[in-house]
Amino acid sequence: MLLVSLAMGASMISSAPSRLHRSAWAGRCRRLVASEYEYDSLQEALAEVRRLRAVEEDSIGEQLKLWLRANKDPSLKVSGVWSNEPSFTRLFTHETWRQYTGRDALTRWVQTGLTWRFSTILRAISPICTLAALWAYCVASLPAALLPRTSPVPMSLMVTAIGLLLVFRTNNSYLRLAEARRLWGSAIVLVREVSQTVVTALVFDRHVQQPDVARAGASRVARYLAAWAWELNSKLIGPVLASDREVLMTLLPAEEAAWIAGQRSRPLQCLGALRRELHAQWRAGNLPMHLHMKLEDDVRQLDTIVGA
């Protein structure tokens, strides 16, 4: 692409009738070279980020590596390691959805009964449940054995209230899970919307006042968005790489990456840098007012996702 652009530029320069036209075409060729270099640099940085944490097609194997890198026990976090059954902790694909819905309910129940001992939920709550059962046994049995006239019936009246409290807690847990899925889906949509709007306004708009500045700004916006996603992931589940600064050092200049890495909330700092870049493009006249306001609203929603 770069060689084709240079060849076209050279042919245009040679066919230009005047020195003024030749100067204009030469400036256009230089802008094409600078744009191609900026795009190549961005693609190389994103490719390097992907190499830092190679994503496998196997969701189970990928999640095992992530939790191990975060120094956490994956047996409490990743389900389906032994049973190979889809669950909330695995990304559903068309194949796993067919596996889940392509069997009758009785077969799924039988499979669950055979693999219940490998459940991550059971492994996580079994110590607490064991202690609660022992305590309940002591409360129900020891008073009646030591004091013959003591009856456990009054204590059994509390079962209904405790059951209702457990139901409320379970509902709250599912609501928090649903809220997390909704927020992460909103983050994906907003990042895609910001990137498409910026590229349309700063790269493909032929009437932009400063093409070089606009294209460089679009590249920086893409870098900040990629860094924001990685830093939000690290904020939620902990660092997933040997060095928690590798992604920032790959995407951003060394001085800026070191400054953001030293801050308490890195995702918010990435959004702050994104806001400053959008404001600079608006001040330079490259970004129209209505698009700037729209992008500011999108960034504000990303900010609420970090706060939520």
DSSP line for 72-118: --GGGT---TTT----TTS---HHHHHHHHSS-HHHHHHHHHHHGGG
* pLDDT classification of 70: cutoffs 50, 70, 90: low
Distance CA 96, CA 219 (A): 37
Structure tokens at 69: 């890198």
pTM for the structure as a whole: 0.67
**pLDDT at residue 3, rounded to an integer:** 31
* Long-range residue pairs from 50-56, CB within 8 A, at least 24 positions apart, any chain: 52/241, 52/246, 52/247, 52/250, 53/240, 53/241
Higher pLDDT, 280 or 169: 280
Residue-averaged pLDDT of the chain: 76
Distance CA 39, CA 294 (A): 25
Q: Tell me the one-letter amino acid at 175.
A: L
Distance CA 214, CA 251 (A): 18
Average pLDDT value for residue range 244-263: 86
Most confident of the ranges 35-44, 58-67, 140-149: 140-149
**pLDDT at residue 10, rounded to an integer:** 33
Average pLDDT value for residue range 294-304: 93
The share of the chain scoring above pLDDT 70, in percent, equals: 71
pLDDT tens profile 78-93: 666 666 666 666 666 7
The residue whose two tokens read 């997933």 is 240
pLDDT tens profile 196-238: 999 999 988 888 888 888 888 899 999 999 999 888 888 887 7
DSSP line for 144-170: HHHSTT--SHHHHTTHHHHHHHHHHHH
SS3 state at 18: coil
Q: How far is CA 201 from CA 18, 33, 92, 108, in A?
A: 32, 20, 35, 51
Q: Tell me the one-letter amino acid at 291.
A: L
Under DSSP, the state recorded for 132 is H
Distance CA 195, CA 178 (A): 26
SS3 state at 46: helix
pLDDT of 5 higher than 60: no
Distance CA 76, CA 85 (A): 15
* pLDDT classification of 15: cutoffs 50, 70, 90: very low
**pLDDT at residue 143, rounded to an integer:** 74
